Amino acid sequence: MSEKPYVAVVGGANIDIAGRPHAHLVPRDSNLGTVRLSQGGVGRNIAHNLALLGVDTRLVTCFGDDELADVLTRGCLDAGIDIAHSFVVPGCASSTYLYVADEAGEMQLAINDMGILDAMTPERLEERAPILQGAAAIVIDANLPAPTIDWVARHARVPLFCDPISTVKAARVTGALGYLHALKPNRLEAEALSGVGIVDDASAVKAARTLLSSGLAQAFVSLGEDGVLCADDHEAVRLPLLPCRVTNTTGAGDAMMAGIIWGHLHDLGLADAGLAGLAASAIAVESAQTVSPHMSEENLVDRMSRA
């Protein structure tokens, strides 16, 4: 009997510290509200969503040797994420992400302390090459150093998915674009990587086509309230957002990436994979948590069927 296919995720695992005011956010003042500590990081969040969707998921990340690392590792294991191939960096603090949202749950300001990921070098990943090459797909995020992203891109023998994370970190992906199977940028990241300003459907398609000209196979450009543009060499289709009750947008992009990968694993076409991403995102934003406890394959399929 062959081993169940698995996905290898290489990226960040953070402790998230989130603040949200009870009323309108007042800059440069102390706002009454809530502060919550949770587990996050783009790579970890994607891995968590994939695990909830029933995908065997192996996370390759680095942990500090502090108390927060114990919280992170326990959380990964409780979520069903295999971290056997991750490693501890002695003397380093665990990656931490601090953000303040407004009363609607939209992030307004954030500071990330993710220097520990500099330890995720090509040499360390070379030691873990067998787990990467044995996967059905590999996922990377742009929290990784550019040389590490390039190394994974050039050595991947299976479909490679990437989340560029931010306009600043997206530059780290530039040299790897032609090696990727799929990229999931938001509007600003797509503009930064393509050099095309996105103001309407036509310019969104132009930006996607520019990215595809690198050799990239698929682009899923998240356009916020305008949905997602799904493009490959044969077609470009914009899908509208699915109906949902927005509680917290943090983690929506990570869920979308997990849905797209789930679609790939189930041999869905371009638009249906994008729909799976939108369905996962809709489930995510209805939860106050970064990763929704209601994420499941059953709920995902149900959301897709009602689109």
Q: Where does the pLDDT of residue 1 fall: very low under 50, low under 70, confident under 90, or very high at 90 and above?
A: very low
DSSP state letters, 86-115: -EE-TT-PPPEEEEEE-TTS-EEEEEEE-G
Here the tokens at position 123 are: 């040499």
Give the integer Cα–Cα distance in Å for 253 and 230: 15
pLDDT at residue 248 greater than cutoff 90: no
Q: Where does the pLDDT of residue 112 fall: very low under 50, low under 70, confident under 90, or very high at 90 and above?
A: confident
Mean pLDDT of the chain: 95
Give helix then strand counts, H and E, for the chain: 11, 14
Q: How does pLDDT run across 204-218, given as a tens digit for each residue?
A: 999 999 999 999 999
CB 289 within 8 A of CB 40: no
Query: Could you give all domains of the chain from N- to C-terminal order, each with its CATH number?
Result: 6-12+41-68+79-86+117-305 (3.40.1190.20)
Give the integer Cα–Cα distance in Å for 94 and 122: 20
Q: Where does the pLDDT of residue 16 fall: very low under 50, low under 70, confident under 90, or very high at 90 and above?
A: confident
Alpha helices in 156-238 (DSSP H): 167-170, 187-194, 201-212
Supply the pLDDT for residue 153. Answer: 97
Supply the pLDDT for residue 104. Answer: 84
User: Would the CA dihedral through 288, 293, 298, 300 be positive or negative?
Assistant: positive
Neighbours of 176 (CB within 10 A): 23
Give the up-direction half-sphere exposure of residue 204: CA atoms within 13 A in the CB hemisphere.
24
Q: Which residues pair with 91 in a beta bridge?
A: none
Average pLDDT in the 178-189 region?
97
Nearest CA to 116 out of 11, 46, 220, 217 is that of 11
Nearest CA to 86 out of 112, 53, 119 is that of 119
Apex 115 CA angle, 111 and 119, nearest 5: 155
Give the integer Cα–Cα distance in Å for 299 and 301: 6
Measured between alpha carbons, how far is residue 98 from residues 36, 82, 107, 130 in Å?
10, 26, 10, 34
- The contacts of residue 9 (CB under 8 Å, 6+ apart) are 43, 44, 46, 47, 50, 57, 58, 59, 60, 138, 139, 140
Give the integer Cα–Cα distance in Å for 193 and 148: 19
